[in-house]
Amino acid sequence: MTEPSVSSPSPVQDLIERARGGEARAVARLITLVESGSAALPEIASTLAPSAGAAMVVGLTGSPGVGKSTTTNELVRAFRAAGQRVAVLAVDPSSPYTGGAILGDRVRMQDHATDPGVYIRSMSSRGHLGGLSAATPAAVRVLAGVGFDVVLVETVGVGQAEVEIASLADTTLVLLAPGMGDAIQAVKAGILEIADIFVINKADRDGVEATHRDIQGMIALGGADRGPGDWRPRVVKAVAAKAEGIDGIVAAIEEHRTWLTDTGQLTERRRRRAAAEIEAIALGQLRARFADLPGAGLAALADKVVTGTLDPHTAATQLLDDLV
């Protein structure tokens, strides 16, 4: 009798092993496979599922010019100093047509290029529906699944992008800088609802106390909706360009993490996140089917709406009738 042959691992298993070992190229390949909806996706997703929730996911957002890249860079340094593997996803929701960051990657990479415990990737959030909501969560799951302890998701923006980052992250940091818009603008931008931690960056500038007061005032005003066990957003000051105040940011992140775990909010947030992700994937698949419909497909219906012979609601009903 012959010994049973030792089966060799599949290409995907091999890729995942190499990614877990810290090979940046293997991580990149996995994310690309997942993003592109490759045939290997089911195997990747199911292999990584048990460990895909293991990372701490930190969102970081703020207006252009507030110092997001510099702050991210310093946070990476701090987490590395604590022995953690760190991945950065720099999501650029701004360039849907041309795709992606302009010089972000190359600038940042330089500081951490030789460190196998750091992985940095830019993603554009192309497209109308499901930009941040489709590719980014999938990439986060890959990064967590291959063993990164911290995943930092950085995105520009007010409004929609911020809301999406909050739905994606365990902990959301909102960066502000003195003199970049008053409290009313901040409230208008809805950041109070999504920020777990406010970072006042460039805190060596004039106006830092006024900004600090404004934010604290906003948080106090929002207090009516907070119960005794609820999280009250922290406000920390930093000068990321001089590496000042980074410890305070990390401490606030850890404090929030403890609160999330102790209150069960971590599981709650992740349930919502998973539901949104499943839904986005399902809707994406349906969208693809719309494009494949024969005959009176979407384009023909759109023509009728433009010429005024059909309204969009009737058109949508016809589209769904064709589909199901």
Residues 40-79 that bind a copy of itself (CB under 8 A): 41-42, 45-46, 48-53, 63-65
Tell which positions 203-262 bind a copy of itself, by CB under 8 A: none
The piece of 98-106, 211-219, 228-236, 237-245 that touches a copy of itself (CB under 8 A) is 98-106
Locate tokens 């070992």: which residue?
Answer: 21
Question: CB 221 → a copy of itself: shortest distance, Å?
Answer: 11
Tell which positions 144-163 bind a copy of itself, by CB under 8 A: 155-163
Minimum CB distance to a copy of itself smaller for 21 or for 64: 64
3-state secondary structure the chain: CCCCCCCCCCHHHHHHHHHHCCCHHHHHHHHHHHHCCCCCHHHHHHHHHHHCCCCEEEEEEECCCCCHHHHHHHHHHHHHHCCCCEEEEEEECCCCCCCCCCCHHHHHHHHHCCCCCEEEEEEECCCCCCHHHHHHHHHHHHHHHCCCCEEEEEEECCCHHHHHHHHHCCEEEEEECCCCCCHHHHHHCCHHHHCCEEEECCCCCCCHHHHHHHHHHHHHHHHHHCCCCCCCCEEEECEHHHCECHHHHHHHHHHHHHHHHHHCHHHHHHHHHHHHHHHHHHHHHHHHHHHHCCCCCHHHHHHHHHHCCCCHHHHHHHHHHHHC
Q: By CB under 8 A, name the one of 25, 106, 188, 213 that touches a copy of itself.
A: 188
Question: CB 65 → a copy of itself: shortest distance, Å?
Answer: 5
Question: CB 107 → a copy of itself: shortest distance, Å?
Answer: 11
Minimum CB distance to a copy of itself smaller for 162 or for 214: 162
Contact between 288 and a copy of itself per CB under 8 A: no
Minimum CB distance to a copy of itself smaller for 78 or for 219: 219
* C-alpha atoms less than 13 angstroms from C-alpha of 143 in its C-beta half-sphere: 29
Question: CB 115 → a copy of itself: shortest distance, Å?
Answer: 26
Q: By CB under 8 A, name the one of 94, 105, 111, 257 that touches a copy of itself.
A: 94
Contact between 324 and a copy of itself per CB under 8 A: yes
Contact between 308 and a copy of itself per CB under 8 A: yes
Q: By CB under 8 A, name the one of 81, 113, 129, 288 that touches a copy of itself.
A: 129
- For residue 140, count other CB atoms closer than 10 A to its CB: 24
219 φ/ψ angles, rounded to the nearest 5 degrees: -65, -40
Phi-psi region of 182 (alpha: psi -120 to 50; beta: other; left: phi over 0): beta
How many residues form the binding site for a copy of itself (CB under 8 A)?
Answer: 94
Q: By CB under 8 A, name the one of 113, 251, 275, 288 that touches a copy of itself.
A: 275
Sign of the Cα pseudo-torsion (276, 282, 285, 287, in order): negative
Question: CB 242 → a copy of itself: shortest distance, Å?
Answer: 21
Q: By CB under 8 A, name the one of 13, 36, 263, 267 that touches a copy of itself.
A: 267
Minimum CB distance to a copy of itself smaller for 180 or for 197: 180
Contact between 20 and a copy of itself per CB under 8 A: no
Contact between 10 and a copy of itself per CB under 8 A: no
The piece of 8-16, 19-27, 180-188, 247-255 that touches a copy of itself (CB under 8 A) is 180-188
Q: By CB under 8 A, name the one of 184, 221, 251, 288 that touches a copy of itself.
A: 184
